[in-house]
Amino acid sequence: MTHPLSEPSFHQLFNQSYEIIESILNDSSISTLEKADIALKIIEIAHHRQSSDSTSSPIVNNEATIETIDISANYVKIENFLSPEEYQTALELAFANQEHFFSSKVLNNAEEHRKSSVFVMKNIPDFYEMMRHKVLEVRPQVLEQLNLAPFLVSWLEMQLTAHNDGDFYKIHNDAAPGETSWNRVLTYVYYFYQEPRSFYGGNLRIYDTVIQGNTVGIKDQFETIEPQNNTIVFFDSRAKHEVMPVICPSHKFEDSRFTINGWIHR
């Protein structure tokens, strides 16, 4: 079988990647971290194309067994993740940007599946970079504790989410087979809120998950994590999970269950 991308064309793509990287490195308008992210992603795409196109399968076995992947509801929790000053800054930034929050949505736009408000953290570049550094700094030990293989990070998504009275997020997973989100490896959720806490509920529930092909199901076993101030939780992005309903009697934005949450991509 002849593949669309032969080995010589791969090398051509790989060489072009370095030419693009060189032009990026000379562009003073792009930050150093953004340059690194872009460069690594270009190389990863080229490598992925070689791996996927270099294997020939002329005979299709219709009776082939679909691989089953079992994912446990394991998680890693780190308390006192930010310094007192950083935690206070997170609160102040959330309060100051209330008018910039917008209603959350899901990829398939399913109604009544998610209710919360979100804010894009890249709009606050200094805090975003600080948080990004801290999340990536603990990544190696998190992967080890979750029994996940090390990987090259291509991107780190980050958003600030506010859950107020009646808000929730029904059962879902962050890495759907066959979709671009499948590159998400680690999900992280940093909890913070005003003291004393003025909301109830909002627990994170992570389910034992089974994946067969493009089908994702849950088992009876699950772990429940209560929001704990200045604490971050990591778990496998493929695991099904949900945010239980929040009760906030005051309805005040400042009394919300706040999180800085996102995903680390391979």
For residue 21, give its domain range. Answer: 7-53
CA distance 231 to 128: 17
Q: Are residues 162 and 249 in the same domain?
A: yes
Per-residue pLDDT of the chain (266 residues; tens, 9 = 90+): 433 443 444 445 445 554 555 555 566 666 655 655 555 555 454 444 443 343 334 434 444 578 899 999 999 999 999 999 999 999 999 999 999 999 987 655 555 789 999 999 999 999 999 999 999 999 999 999 999 999 999 999 999 999 999 999 999 999 988 777 889 999 999 999 999 999 999 999 999 999 998 899 999 999 999 999 999 999 999 999 999 999 999 999 999 999 999 999 99
H-run or E-run covering 91: helix 84-96
Q: Are residues 216 and 134 in the same domain?
A: yes
Tell me how far apart the alpha carbons of residues 122 and 15 are, in angstroms, rounded to a whole number.
Answer: 31
Indicate whether 36 and 99 sit together in one domain: no
* CA triple 246-250-252, angle to 5 deg: 85
Kindly state whether residues 27 and 90 are assigned to the same domain: no
Distance CA 159, CA 33 (A): 18
Q: What are 19's strand-pairing partners? A: none
pLDDT, residue 217, reads 95
144, 14: one domain: no
135-192: per-residue pLDDT in tens? 999 999 999 999 999 999 999 999 999 999 999 999 999 998 877 788 999 999 999 9
State the pLDDT at residue 20.
Answer: 53
Beta carbons of 218 and 209 less than 8 angstroms apart = yes
Q: Are residues 36 and 165 in the same domain?
A: no
User: How many Å apart are CA 221 and CA 203, to the nearest integer?
Assistant: 16
State how far the Cα of 94 lies from the Cα of 88, in Å rounded to an integer.
10
pLDDT score, position 30:
62
What pLDDT does residue 51 have? 39
* pTM of model > 0.85: no
Q: What is the pLDDT of residue 46?
A: 45
Number of domains in the chain: 2
Q: How far apart are CA 254 and CA 188, in angstroms?
A: 22
Q: Pull the structure tokens for residue 226.
A: 């209560």
In a domain, 60, yes or no: no
Q: Is residue 2 one of the residues assigned to a domain?
A: no
Residues 88 and 188 in one domain: yes
Give me the pLDDT at residue 52, please: 39
What are the tokens at 130?
A: 């600080």
